[in-house]
Amino acid sequence: MASETIVVTGASRGLGRAMARGFAARGHTVLGCGRSADDMRGLASELGAPHDFRPVDVATDAVDGWAGDLIDRHGAPDRVINNAALINRVADLWKVPPEEFARLLAVNVEGVYRVTRAFLPAMIERGRGVIVNFSSGWGRSTGPGVAPYCATKFAVEGLTGALAQELPPGLAAIAFSPGVIHTDMLRTVWGDGAGAHPTADEWAKRSVPFLLELGAKDNGGSLSL
């Protein structure tokens, strides 16, 4: 496979960091963001040039400047992986503080919109590209204690399906449920039980080749690993 330019949000830790390493190890250029400046510096130091990692909150206007600079430097990306997400502290819906609910919506839904809006026009102009929006099993079913998270991931599924219908030929928007992985996010819900599942690095060995195979033929898909 020819070398690609791949944008990965939420690259500070967990699945995002594991994907960044996995894509880079296969010869692709990774342009990542995360909220932690220290984590972004560390990943930039680890992987080196031409990879580019910057502290960006996907729920803010900073996305536009970040994307514009990357497009100027690297051209339109071949793939955009909208991975950045938060989960709420486990609680009944009526006990979730409004500011916590709003923050999940801002990152998990508005963040996907902002990043897509910033990169997609350049991808359309070039005539090809794939956007993968990370969903969840809780974007297709529900569970107690995580209603805000479920709401955001159901929204990602709907947003992605509608976007797929709007795209011109040659491009794809795909919703992707990564499965159950031992991450900090999973531990907030399942505690020690999270340890029974694959680590992010183990998961990336399967997921990175899978994600690299996605193309225009998969437009509108709601896929799982």
Give φ, ψ of 75 to 5 degrees: 80, 180
Query: Do the Cβ atoms of 34 and 16 come closer than 8 Å?
Result: yes
Interatomic CA distance for residues 144 and 175, integer angstroms: 23
Is residue 215 classed as helix, strand or coil in its secondary structure?
coil
Tell me, yes or no, if 113 is annotated catalytic.
no
Kindly list the distances between the CA atom of residue 173 and the CA atoms of 51, 84, 169, in Å, as whole numbers in the listed order: 24, 16, 11
> For the chain, what is the largest distance between any 2 Cα atoms, rounded to a whole number of angstroms?
50
- What is the enclosing helix (H) or strand (E) of 34? strand 29-34
Half-sphere exposure of 63 (CA within 13 A, CB side): 24
Active-site residue among 53, 149, 154, 176?
149
Q: Which residues are catalytic?
A: 149
